[in-house]
Amino acid sequence: MEAAPLFHEIAGGPDGGLAHWLTTADGLRIRVGHWPLADAKGTVLIFPGRTEFVEKYGVTAKALQQHGYASLAIDWRGQGIADRMLKDRMIGHVGRFADYQHDVQATLAHAEALGLPRPYFLIAHSMGGCIGLRALHQGLPVQAAMFSAPMWGVEMTPITRVGAWIMSTLGMTFGFANILTPGQSTESYVLREDFDKNTLTNDPDMWEVFKTQMRAHPELGLGGPSLRWVNLSLREMLDLSKRPAPAVPCLTYLGTREAIVSPQRIKDGMAKWSNGTLRVIEGGKHEMLMDKPEVRNMLITEAVAHFAAHSA
């Protein structure tokens, strides 16, 4: 078990956090961080969104620990300080969308090796919500799940959606799918956007935390996606939208000011989830786990109550 860096000074997580390098079944190196807790009620697996990294969820880990839960978070392949697959490391990229499930399996094996306490639960945000939904279909061994603005669709105008499908499909067909998607930037969003225009959080203090994290450790940063990532993600989301809901009890959050993922896809997905609940938060943006303290505390309090209700 090889130790990896965990940047405590920007994570703000509970004491005792550790990180390790893992090698996936297809040979890539990813990083997983965890925050143990003696006599924990269980362990929450945290699946971050696109561009995110382990340290960003230190605040979530601290809140979970206060409620009696250990936690674990992942640097997905292609982001954080996990292996990146393109020469320009700031372009978000993946070989196949199904490859993220290799990261899930390596993480589960790591949780077992660490002896992190069961039962397991899931908190999945944005792209992590897409990966997490597929993992549930494949038997992810969690008792209950909480999704925050899951990427079950992307919010685009009809013209932009058609353009995304056409351009990314052409890229896949004619061999230029590894380039940055036109209109995107290789600079981290939080460094190039002002707080007043941001689509992530209503909390100016958390926005400054985001900037501080990027400036302190620019190697964690990520820009826009490749055409390949766009095409594969569109196909994955479309396929998932056609499937019945998993049997796992689910609590999902959607903000009324969501501007990144598709609110309609989330509503449609939750409408067929027989043991699922959709919570629409007035004024919420994309990252409600990173919003004002009263919002993120509410989400965590409700999530752990949901977990407790479904503990084996």
Give the whole-angstrom CA distance, residue 48 versus residue 50: 7
- In percent, how much of the chain has pLDDT > 90? 99
Q: Domain 2-309: give its CATH code.
A: 3.40.50.1820
Residue-wise pLDDT tens digits, 18-55: 999 999 999 999 999 999 999 999 999 999 999 999 99
Instruction: Kindly indicate the confidence band of residue 260, based on its pLDDT and cuts at 50, 70 and 90.
Output: very high
Q: Is the pLDDT of residue 312 over 80?
A: no
Instruction: Kindly indicate the confidence band of residue 216, based on its pLDDT and cuts at 50, 70 and 90.
Output: very high
Residue-wise pLDDT tens digits, 223-236: 999 999 999 999 99
DSSP 3-state of 264? helix
Helix (H) or strand (E) holding 204: helix 204-216
Nearest to 265 by CA among 275, 274, 278: 278
Residue extents of the structural domains in the chain: 2-309
Residue-wise pLDDT tens digits, 267-291: 999 999 999 999 999 999 999 999 9
Q: Is the pLDDT of residue 297 over 80?
A: yes
DSSP string of 142-182, one letter each residue: -S-EEEES--SSB---HHHHHHHHHHHHHHHHHT-TTSBPT
Position 175 scores a pLDDT of 96
Helix (H) or strand (E) holding 266: helix 263-271
Position 1 scores a pLDDT of 86
- Calculate mean pLDDT across residues 71-93: 98
Residue-wise pLDDT tens digits, 109-164: 999 999 999 999 999 999 999 999 999 999 999 999 999 999 999 999 999 999 99
- In percent, how much of the chain has pLDDT > 70? 100
Position 74 scores a pLDDT of 98
CA–CA distances in Å: residue 73 to residues 17, 176, 260, 276: 11, 32, 22, 23
Q: Indicate the average pLDDT of the chain.
A: 98
